Amino acid sequence: MGEIDMIKEIIQSAESKRKRPRMLRWGINLVLSVLGILVIYTLLLLTGPPRRINTLAPDEELIAHFYAHRADIEELVHRYRSYVPPPGAQHGEWRKLGDTPELFKRAGVKRLKYIGPTWLPDPYSLEARQRDKGKGIVAGWSAAAKYHTVAIVPLDSRSFYHNVVWKDLVFMPVAPRIADGVLVGPIDHLGRHSHQRVFPTLNNEPPDVERDTCAYRQIEPQWFVRMCRTLY
C-alpha cells in the first residue's frame, strides 16, 4: 500500500504542476483584458467617439449643380409658385403640364416640394400678421404657393444613415434675416419666430445636425444648401 500511495502522490504532484501554468496563463489573460478595456475607455474619454464619415454629396457638388442648371431650376421654381390650378384640380398637376417633365430631366431635379416656413408679405411685421389673422390670406394653393419655401431634390440624391440624413437645395421667396449663425423665420401673429442654424459648410458629420432638425448653408440671399436629420 505504501508504494501505491507514493505513486498517487507523484501523479497528483504532476497534475498540480500542469494546472499551475494554465491558471497562470488564465490570470495573465484576464489582467490583459481588463487593462485593454481600461485603455479603450480612457481613449474614448480623451478623444470622444469615433468620427463617422459623411457620405452625402458635398456642398460644392450641389452648388455646382445649381449653377450649371440654374436657368432650368429657376424656371421650375417659377412654375411651381405661379401655377393656379383650375377648380377641382390639385396643385401638383403643374409638374405634368407642357414640357415640364422634360424640364425636370434637363435640370437634373427629382422633385420640388413645399417645406416650411411660409413667407407672407412683410414677414417680420407683427402688425401684418395680426391683420392677416383669420382673413385666410393663404387659403388654397393658388394663394399660398408663391409664399412657400421650396426644396429642390436633385436626381443624384445620395443619402446617409439609410435616408435619415439628407441634403437638398432650398429656395426662399424672400431673403431671410441671418444673425449670429441663425436663420430667423417669419413672425406669426403671436410674435414667435422659427430658428434654423446656418453654417459655412455642411461637409461634416451628421451628429452636428440635431435629430428632427435641419441646418443651412447660404449660397445666395434666397438660395441655400440644406442638410436634415430625422428623429432616428
List pLDDT tens digits, range 50-84. 444 456 778 999 999 999 999 999 999 999 999 98
Residue 60: its pLDDT value, please?
93
125 with 45, same domain?
no
Residue 49: its pLDDT value, please?
45
150 with 188, same domain?
yes
Quote the CA–CA distance of 124 and 52 in Å, as a whole number.
39
Q: Domain boundary at 50, 68, 83, which?
A: 50
76 with 143, same domain?
yes
Residue 102: its pLDDT value, please?
97
Residue 84: its pLDDT value, please?
84
Q: Which residues of the chain have pLDDT under 50?
A: 49-53, 160-162, 206-207
Residue 32: its pLDDT value, please?
66
140 with 214, same domain?
yes
106 with 192, same domain?
yes
- When divided into structural domains, the chain yields a total of 2
Q: Which domain holds residue 40?
A: 1-50
132 with 45, same domain?
no
First to last CA, the chain: 76
Quote the CA–CA distance of 10 and 33 in Å, as a whole number.
35
Residue 223: its pLDDT value, please?
98
45 with 157, same domain?
no
161 with 92, same domain?
yes
Residue 204: its pLDDT value, please?
74
184 with 73, same domain?
yes
14 with 71, same domain?
no
80 with 117, same domain?
yes
Residue with cell 430625422: 230
Residue 74: its pLDDT value, please?
97
Give the distance from CA 114 to its chain's centroid. 17
186 with 107, same domain?
yes
